[in-house]
Amino acid sequence: MAVGWVAVLQMVPWGEVIKNAPKVADGAVKLWNSVSKKKSLDGAGNEISGVVLPGDGNVFGQFEHQLQEAQARIDDLQTQVVQSAEVIKELASQNAQLVAQIEANRKAVTVLGVVVALLVIGAIVQAVVLFNA
Helix, strand, or coil (residue 45): coil
Q: Give pTM, 2 decimals.
A: 0.46
The answer to whether residues 14 and 106 touch, using CB atoms and an 8 Å cutoff, is: yes
CA distance 27 to 83: 16
CA dist 85 and 80 (Å) reads: 8
Residue 107 near residue 99 (C-beta atoms within 8 A)? no
Please determine, for residue 112, whether its predicted confidence score (pLDDT) is greater than 90.
Answer: yes
In the chain, the percentage of residues whose pLDDT exceeds 70 is 75
CB 30 within 8 A of CB 88: no
pLDDT at 54 over 90: no
pLDDT of 117 > 90? The answer is yes
pLDDT at position 74, please? 92
